[in-house]
Chains A and B, each alone.
Chain A
Amino acid sequence: MRKKLFITLVFGLMVVPFIMGTATAKTLKIGSMSPLTGPYASDGTDIKNGVLTAIQVFEEAGGIPGYDKIELFPQDTACDPKQAVAAANKLINLEVVGVVGAYCSSSTIPSSETLDEEDIPMLTPASTNEKVTDRGLKYMFRLCGRDDDQAPAAAKFLKDSLNAKTVFIVDDKTTYSQGLADGVSKACKALGIEVVEHDHVNQGDKDFSAVLTKAKHANADIFYMSLQGYSPGALMALQAKRQGLKSQIVSQDAMFQPKFMEVAKEAAEGIYITYGFTDTTTPEYKAFENIYVPKYGSIAAYATYAYDAATVLLKAIKAAGATDPAKIKAEIMKMDFDGVAKRIKFRANGDSGSSYIAFKIENSKFVPYWSPEQGLLK
């Protein structure tokens, strides 16, 4: 008798959450994937903060009809493909309607396949490798540019603006950094710039003295560094200055982070980087700045793109009035509006176009310097 009572009680308790779940109103669940621990934790946290800002803005504007609340489930990928797939599976179990992420191309590529099997839309704010959108996945979108646009833009910049004859390339062997470095190497050769050497370092390295000594002796016109995050980039720039490297340093979008100058300080001055052009005078950008900066500090590389990605997703859900992936996709493809980072309009493959220009670091600021169409901007 007692045992029966006990079983009934336990069973009753187990049922409670289900009854309560249906009684209270609905929560819209969305996921984000980015490295929240490990070497790229800072960039990953920026992405999470960008998404949170978008949710905040949306909720303040009245939210989405039919839902009380929008909840974000931020997942840590640690820039590790295995962990990224695990995170994707976790988000599938949580039944999220869409995912913003991931950061590293090497995480985005495998995890997007997992999400695609369940028809969950994925919008990457930061993965620039070509393969992200070139695999014909149905629900893969990209807010940032592509490396096969960035590499030729960088090579053209080296040739046209810096009159480079020789270049020394270093990368740190990730899908993104090595893919881009290979692209730059190819584009340089096509333009008649000699690639003196293409060396590699490891992720997590702090000591670059050996490679920099090599570069110093090679004495190429340009030292092109393609590293996965701003942190090794800043270390490399700082050590290059201390070693007395005379080559002009040029780098890529991963360095677009105010922390880069904070760590490298005066060694950052005069470095050029290529990054998607963002007009910081638009009302959209200013509005974002007013919410983001007081809460999370300075705006870094991919916070704006993450904000735009989350906005696209939420707008699409609102416009579709449903969480059906096909309807969300139809709405996403219809989008045409001014985001914080850029004009947002998707192509059939999920790309939204690149707008790479060269920035110069002057007085600890990224100053637009050169664009492939207009040449010098000043």
Chain B
Amino acid sequence: MEYFIQQLINGITLGGLYALIALGYTMVYGVIQLINFAHGEFFAAGGYVGVILLSFFTGLGYMETHPILCLSAAFVLTMGYCAFLAVGVEKVAYKPLRRQSRLAALLSALGVSIFLSNGLMLTQGVYDKAYPSELFQGGIEFGMVTISYLQMMIVGMTIFLLFGLNILVFKTKIGMAMRATAQDKVMSSLVSISSNRIISLTFAIGAGLAAAAGIMVGLYYGSVRYDMGFLPGIKAFAAAVLGGIGNITGAMLGGLIIGMVEIFGAGYISGQYKDVFAFIILISVLYFKPTGIMGENIDDTRV
């Protein structure tokens, strides 16, 4: 039982991180029907900006006096940076191709992905960069179950961000504009919604969430490296498809499921097949429900 609970906690932490990344895929797909393969790189960039900022704060000594303030500043700045990066990428690589075939934009996305990850390698080097580890040391123990403060922080932060996103999309004017654009670009522009601005905003939000996940992955696993965006990017994409691409709630659910399946697969069967289990679930769900669990739909839950 303790074993099960410990694995459940591991699964929720990992699933939450996947969910945060998956949201970026699904939101962008919802608005312009593009699979943004460069999304994993925003996540990696987030991890790197985070480690640079945190090391900078540590060097100045603020980390010891105001740890929470420093961490919040790092989160806000990193999310901001990645949001700008994503908007820039959209303007340079996707916008000129918007009237071309979808395949052109998809290839452009792959190109951007390779460009960004190699850019990271050339500027930051091939070695792992270690995160300052003094933060959130220790945890709570219940018998054999250990919940580290880091896991609590990550789960808390993920819930906070997911909640914030839900409010933004479903309760505000901007969210309404986003949903309108997703449903019908021509119609929404007739009621004076600037679809260009909405698309930029969607990219910015998605990248911001991925950046937050990047910092958390860095804190949780202790280091970042330039190619860290690739595998989580693929898993998060699978999560988005599993949940029903284009559907926000679906992406959250898909992320959690993929994370859990991986952890339980590794925990109860064998670690070597954990990716296999994640993709078996994906394939079997798509076999019976080709549009994903929540379904790619045209009603107002789509962004």
Contacts and interface: CB of A to CB of B under 8 A. Distances in A.
Interface of A: 36-39, 41-42, 45, 170, 173, 199-202, 204-211, 213-214, 216-217, 231, 234-235, 238-239, 242-244, 259, 262-266
Contacts of B271: 170, 199-202, 208, 210-211
A217 B144 contact: yes
Contacts of B139: 242
B3 A217 contact: yes
A216 B144 contact: yes
Interface residues of B, number: 40
Given A201-B271, A231-B225, A238-B222, A263 B7 contact: no
A216 B270 CA distance: 15
A76 to B, nearest CB: 11
B10 interface: yes
B114 to A, nearest CB: 11
Given A202-B271, A239-B221, A244-B146, A42 B6 contact: no
A208 B7 CA distance: 11
Given A209-B14, A209-B263, A234-B128, A200 B146 contact: no
Contact of A213 (B126, B128, B267): B267
A243 B128 contact: no
A42 B127 contact: yes
13 contacts: A37-B121, A206-B217, A209-B7, A209-B10, A210-B7, A210-B266, A213-B3, A213-B7, A231-B128, A231-B225, A235-B221, A235-B222, A238-B133
A207 B221 contact: yes
Nearest to A178: B272
B222 A263 contact: yes
Interface string B227-270: 11011100000000000000000000000000000111111001
B10 A210 contact: yes
Given A213-B7, A213-B10, A263 B217 contact: no
B144 A210 contact: no
A214 B228 CA distance: 25
B58 to A, nearest CB: 13
B130 interface: yes
B141 interface: yes
Contacts of A235: 221-223
Contacts of A208: 271
Interface of B: 2-3, 6-7, 10, 13-14, 121, 126-128, 130, 133, 139, 141, 144, 146, 148, 150, 217, 221-223, 225, 227-228, 230-232, 262-267, 270-272, 274-275
A210 B262 contact: yes
Nearest to A265: B133
A36 B263 CA distance: 31
Those 3 A-B pairs whose CB atoms lie nearest each other, nearest first: A210-B266, A200-B272, A41-B126
Contacts of A170: 271
Contact of A45 (B7, B126, B265): B126
Contacts of A205: 231, 274
Contacts of A202: 271-272, 274-275
A310 B33 CA distance: 53
B267 A41 contact: no
B219 to A, nearest CB: 11
Contact of B221 (A200, A217, A238, A265): A238
Nearest to B265: A210
Contacts of B14: 207, 209
A242 B138 CA distance: 7
Contacts of B221: 206-207, 235, 238-239
Contacts of A263: 128, 130, 222-223
B267 A214 contact: yes
A148 B238 CA distance: 41
Given A213-B10, A244-B146, A265-B130, A234 B274 contact: no
B222 A209 contact: no
Nearest to B131: A263
A242 B221 CA distance: 10
B227 A209 contact: no
Given A200-B271, A207-B221, A210-B267, A41 B128 contact: no
Nearest to B266: A210
Contacts of B230: 204
A175 to B, nearest CB: 15
Given A199-B272, A242-B139, 5 more contacts: A42-B128, A204-B230, A210-B7, A210-B263, A238-B221
